[in-house]
Chain A
Amino acid sequence: MIAFENVAYSYGGGELLSGISLRLAPGSFHFLTGPSGAGKSTFLKLCYAELRPTAGHITLFDRDVRSLSRDDVALNRRRIGVVHQDCQFLDHLPLAANVALPLTVAGRGSEASDLTDLLGWVGLGSLADALPPSLSGGERQRAALARAIIMGPDVILADEPTGNLDWEMSLRLLTLLVELNRMGKTVLVATHDLNLIRQAKAQIPARVLRIAKRRIQLAGADL
């Protein structure tokens, strides 16, 4: 689904990531950990073609990302749901319209009932008409998850999705991600939270990738 082949990336200075080869198989669940500034967000951006590798090849749905036009990149975003670390919304539109935004820009209408169900599923049913600036950090992260999955993507990439959540809410969000994975979605979650990873491994066979010294390795079973 997403394959890295000897990929390197640098923002212009030294190489941030190098020699990365890995595959995210369909239906797999991965965590990505590493110190702050190690390049987790950068790795995710490479996965959804926001950034292009400075060396090596990334294959996305069987196509080299270098061969993608701007429109292809836009169309790919409809197949990959992304929860960004800094959840950005259109501040002038109510939450429900923001969650439905991927459908709107794709020229597809949304069933009002589906949207209500989805908002209820992430616990935001009562906030459908609220404007994003009035939401708490946790509410924004759940809204971002809802927006990421509304198109029914094959892949879900989440960057620190529990960064602003208390433990109870984190577990709830993890449950949502596990549910999505059980429905067959490929999931990749970047997180610092080792407790969350332990909790997940108790439920599903999640694998843990660790960024260290510019490389990404499969972490040991001790986590």
Chain B
Amino acid sequence: MNLLSILAPDRQADRVVPPSGHTAWLTQFTAAAMAFLAVFALALSLAAGRLADRWSDALERTATVRLSAPEDQIDLQTAAVLEVLTTTPGITSARALSDDEQRALLEPWFGPDLPVDALPLPRLIELTEDGAGYDAEGLRQRLAAEAPGAVLDDHTRWRRPLAVAADRLRLLGLLSIGLIAAATAAMITLAANAALAANAQVIRVLRLVGARDAYIARAFVRRFTLRALSGAAIGTALGMIGVALLPSTEAAGSFLTGLGFTGAGWILPLTLPPLAALVAFLATRASAFRKLRELT
């Protein structure tokens, strides 16, 4: 008995077991509700994953030190800052941007003819940190002592705990999907056991007229698998519609508005109904064979 053959129409086997009434509906409803929840868990997990990726990328970027000093001290302080940076643990490299590079940075705002030399612009020193990062507070204090005009701009660092949190959120989402699958299996096992127990008489008659266990089990497994499949399809469809209808105000750029599927991500929830069918198939088959051995 395999999953695909069980989905093929089989009127004879369907008829020998009486309609199972509420247990079948219960299975379908459970599968629908669980699939609906799973869609959101999946969306949450994917969104958290995207957020974690984006924030981790930002973390890899460099930080900058801005140095404003009187003209006659600028070179001295630049050297002092570079000295401090290169001796700070956690910083792999540091270098002052050249005038050309600074002009290139400012060009979008002030045009190409900016006389960088004539303006009292702060000097920019770019630093790259290693994976473990550096102690920002300690660095600030040392910079204050060595080069009073230097300001450490590490605007990306505050995101580090958020990136970790987003990563955890992704894991929690995946864990939720696992739990939803387990809860579905448990519910369907209970429903299948109830249906088998309610049909003990039918099973006895079928055994007496020569039906093999596989034949009897098939009638039940087929029914529950189809119910789980159709229920999960309905739940998934509703969940996907719900996600699609979430307002998408990109302006805020907040986490909630990012909750959705993008591109190929829309294919993922479509795997939920077959997954539910597989869960139902395995759960019902196991309990059917166990129950059959118990009953006859």
Which residue numbers of A lie inside 8 Å of B, CB to CB? Answer: 50, 70-71, 74-78, 82, 84, 88-93, 97, 101-102, 104-106, 147, 151
Closest Cβ–Cβ distance, residue A80 to chain B (whole Å)? 9
Chain A residues lying within 8 Å of B207, measured Cβ to Cβ, are 74, 77
The verdict on B145 contacting chain A, using a C-beta distance below 8 Å, is: no
Provide the bound-state CA to CA distance between A34 and B205, in Å.
27
Which residue numbers of B lie inside 8 Å of A, CB to CB? Answer: 12, 15-16, 18-19, 201-202, 204-215, 293
Provide the bound-state CA to CA distance between A102 and B214, in Å.
15
B213 touches A101 (CB 8 A): no
Lowest 6 A-B CB distances belong to which pairs? A77-B210, A105-B211, A92-B18, A78-B210, A102-B209, A74-B212
Most chain B beta-carbon neighbours within 10 Å: one of A74, A92, A93, A102: A74
Task: Specify which of B201, B209, B293 is in contact with A105 (CB 8 Å cutoff).
Answer: B209
Number of residue pairs spanning A and B whose beta carbons lie under 8 angstroms apart: 56
Tell me whether A105 and B208 are in contact in the complex, defined as CB-CB below 8 angstroms, given that A70-B213, A71-B213 are known contacts: no
Provide the bound-state CA to CA distance between A84 and B208, in Å.
9
Closest Cβ–Cβ distance, residue A98 to chain B (whole Å)? 9
A77 touches B208 (CB 8 A): yes
Closest Cβ–Cβ distance, residue B285 to chain A (whole Å)? 16
Tell me whether A105 and B213 are in contact in the complex, defined as CB-CB below 8 angstroms, given that A74-B207, A88-B204, A90-B205 are known contacts: no
Chain A residues lying within 8 Å of B15, measured Cβ to Cβ, are 93, 97
Provide the bound-state CA to CA distance between A156 and B77, in Å.
110
Chain A residues lying within 8 Å of B12, measured Cβ to Cβ, are 104
A104 touches B208 (CB 8 A): no
Chain B residues lying within 8 Å of A84, measured Cβ to Cβ, are 208
A75 touches B210 (CB 8 A): yes
